[in-house]
Chains A and B, each alone.
Chain A
């Protein structure tokens, strides 16, 4: 392993959770190769890296835990008390707090990562799903799919300060790097909403209609925005496409055809590439962000769900 990692100056490792293989795929995106597959636990979904890239966090939903994995040895360091059926979670910028959505219990569980302790549970709306921490650490936002709300949680007090009613079945949430905007996808309305963090109001709603694709296939899920806020990207589930959105004008630039049931997205550390997990075609797509072109797809295993990338 050490040999492979030190073999190239541009070495980069991509980790993908495989929901139906109970495993983690390790991919070299530069060489375009699946390096290895590691058994990880039951139904792995959400995945995140610590800010120093030393640890990988993986929600193994059916084990009711978030596992902490050493990124060099791939050995399990700890199991965090995530509450039941963890699916999505978010790490704060310092990397010492983990916020987990407990979908069946209408809760957000707050974990002290290094003490490996639950420190709070926050009651939110019905079926919380998407969760994110603002880069300035001022807000934790939780999207509840059946309540159709964004809950604005103060990380200092663990209380909900405000709520924003959004389009039905909000799925994923993502802050811009400057923490001024929150981007939210609605799976049922087929929209992307831009919220102003200061006012907590929707300032723009973008319908992601694709010519020639049935409206019921437009189910936006994962969303990411680049650091300069030039482009935003939205995975549109069963439409098998990633929308490229101008993050200044909010115009949809184009749709990139990727694999089937595209779910989640992650940038390479240098933000030159974007990776998408394609659940039904069992692969990930690599998108070149300078040309906005899909350059490669790599078979990784059954039902790839979450993805992160480490230099």
Chain B
């Protein structure tokens, strides 16, 4: 654009001054162009065990989201004289992520998009040389990383398990499906998911009437057809809440339970950050543009990396800066509003770096609802009815100060939770003491 503008001007000038001006403008042009360096780091994954071959394994979830956002940022950058540059660090399965990072990353890159496991993300955040960098966690859902294990240099793009469980609970409360039968897998992640489900049940006044683990120890000669009815027999409940993040047994449950009940959780009606059934609020444009660029549907990790790079883009365009502290201050300020194709503008919770956002409740081929559900109120923003609110956050303070009390509570009749002033007031008074 700049070039065209300059050319147009030059036509009108006399040849003798053209040469001088030409050099002046070209140096001014290069001085004006601001470079914003972004690194993307991930580790390749082994193909995990799966229940069926229906869903093709996608080896590089997250990379296409990063690349699309870099392109979008550069489309905007052409009008603001900014250029966004991407460095990819893709670590093979059997190599150490931190070693690879140390070898490959250039010192002057301060914005890091991490698509890593909880363990590697924590190691990356704790590196001495990363204390003045800003890491965007584009893939974890871990609640401890947003609470007692939080890091000042990390922002989280995807909703935590607690936010997902709360979204589900709001919808189930609206449906008055208050008696839950929880079925979980044995893996650590599944237990973390169940923890979030139990927290949500308590927050929204639900009753967990059954709680069982799927142990995979059933006789291999028997089938799901006979196992699941027996497994779910003897409990009267409204919904079966399943916690099976890897998808090892959850899909077996629907249509096979002893009594006819819907399945929700990691299978059935699933709370998620992004889903292919989502079309509202410009979502269809995002889906189309992503598919045209990547040749597949946008996955949650792509949504996470897309939003991370777009956050950097939005902040640097608004502040005209590539400085880490300037960008970070802007991101955590009230001025920051990110378009996330989910209606409400997205912003960060300053107390734990979590991106506040609506959570989609999707079945395989239909978007059922979007949380926060209407009627769930909050004194600041309804988006903070999902997950750990400021008063509950264990980020930046010792664990014993944190109560399990929530500021979002159902009213007496159990219909509409409202902000609980008494709890908050008590907490403030305790702090003063």
Contacts and interface: CB of A to CB of B under 8 A. Distances in A.
Interface of A: 103-104, 106, 123, 125-127, 144-149, 151, 157, 159-161, 163, 165, 168-169, 188-189, 214, 216, 219
B337 A106 contact: no
B339 A145 contact: yes
Given A104-B285, A188-B345, 11 more contacts: A103-B285, A145-B282, A146-B76, A148-B76, A148-B317, A148-B339, A159-B8, A160-B1, A169-B282, A169-B339, A188-B344
B8 A188 contact: no
A146 B317 CA distance: 12
A169 B317 CA distance: 14
B318 interface: yes
B75 A126 contact: yes
B75 A147 contact: yes
Contacts of B292: 104
Contacts of B79: 125, 147, 149, 151, 160, 163
B298 to A, nearest CB: 14
13 contacts: A104-B285, A127-B282, A127-B285, A145-B339, A159-B5, A165-B317, A168-B339, A188-B337, A188-B344, A188-B345, A189-B345, A216-B343, A219-B343
Nearest to B72: A126
Nearest to A103: B285
A165 B318 contact: yes
Nearest to A154: B8
B289 interface: yes
Main secondary structure of the interface of A (DSSP, over half): loop
Given A104-B289, A145-B282, A146-B72, A168 B382 contact: no
Given A188-B345, A189-B345, A146 B339 contact: yes
Contacts of B338: 168
A219 B345 CA distance: 11
Contacts of A104: 285, 288-289, 292
A126 B314 CA distance: 12
Contact of B345 (A126, A163, A168): A168
Contact of B75 (A106, A161, A189): A106
B46 interface: no
A125 B337 contact: no
Nearest to A168: B337
Contacts of B1: 159-160
Contact of A216 (B78, B289, B344): B344
Contacts of A148: 76, 314, 317, 339
A168 B79 CA distance: 16
Contacts of B382: 214, 216
B76 A149 contact: yes
B4 interface: yes
A123 B76 CA distance: 11
Interface in B285-344: 285, 288-289, 292, 310, 314, 317-318, 337-339, 343-344
Interface string B80-100: 100000000000000000000
A157 B78 CA distance: 19
Nearest to A219: B343
Given A106-B75, A126-B75, A216-B343, A157 B282 contact: no
Nearest to A160: B1
B400 to A, nearest CB: 36
A214 B375 CA distance: 10
Nearest to A149: B79
Nearest to A85: B288
Contacts of B318: 165
A159, A163, A188 — most chain B CB neighbours (10 Å): A188
Interface in B340-380: 343-345
Nearest to B341: A146
Contacts of B339: 145-146, 148, 168-169, 188
A189 B337 contact: yes
Contacts of A126: 72, 75-76
* A-B CB proximity, top 4 nearest: A147-B76, A163-B79, A188-B345, A126-B72
A268 B78 CA distance: 41
Contacts of B72: 126, 146-147
Interface string B196-213: 000000000000000000
A87 B314 CA distance: 25
A83 B285 CA distance: 16
A123 B72 CA distance: 12
Contacts of B314: 148
B334 to A, nearest CB: 12
